[in-house]
Amino acid sequence: MSSRHELLRDFVNNQVLEITKYAIEKMPERMDKGLALVYKERQLDYLQWLLDNALKSNGYYIDEALEVMQALESGCSVKEAFDLFSDKEGAHAALVRSFVLSWSKRGPEFFKGSLDFPFSNLPRETQREIKELENNNQRFAAAEKERTAETQSHK
């Protein structure tokens, strides 16, 4: 084996180790932030998703998506949240947008508001899936409101 080949192999191995180390170090923070931001009914699904996906591309987009979700949760507008994106186009933006759509309480609103074309131009199946997310989020919001009211009445 050539020394050049060995150097390239070592470089790739080091990169993989760094990515893995970073993703593992960030896992507790990503778990805590995400659990605080998703509906209670979706928390187990979120944890499973996080375990399945955290090592893919080191998960940098997860950190950015959680930042966007925190901004939305604090009441900022979709435009303000979208302005937090480091890269508004390409694969990274698609990953962030998809993550926020899937897990944020305001995901469908954010997704629709961040499109640069009419929602009706999306494939019908995608529109149906987003509508289903909206319906689920409405049910989860009602359940959350009910839990909060019960907690308040027990004080």
Q: How do residues 76-123 score in pLDDT, each as one tens digit?
A: 999 899 888 766 678 888 889 999 999 999 999 999 998 888 899 999
Read off the DSSP letter of residue 117. Answer: S
Q: Which pLDDT value is given to residue 1?
A: 58
Q: Which pLDDT value is given to residue 8?
A: 85
Mind listing the pLDDT tens digit for each residue in 2-26?
Answer: 788 888 888 888 888 888 888 888 8
Output phi, psi for 85, to 5 deg: -60, 135
Q: Quickly count: other Cβ atoms within 10 Å of residue 116's Cβ.
A: 6
With a CB cutoff of 8 Å and minimum separation 6, the contacts of 42 are 103, 140
Q: Which pLDDT value is given to residue 68?
A: 95
Q: Which of 146, 147, 137 is nearest to 39 (CA)?
A: 137
Mind listing the pLDDT tens digit for each residue in 46-56?
Answer: 999 998 887 77
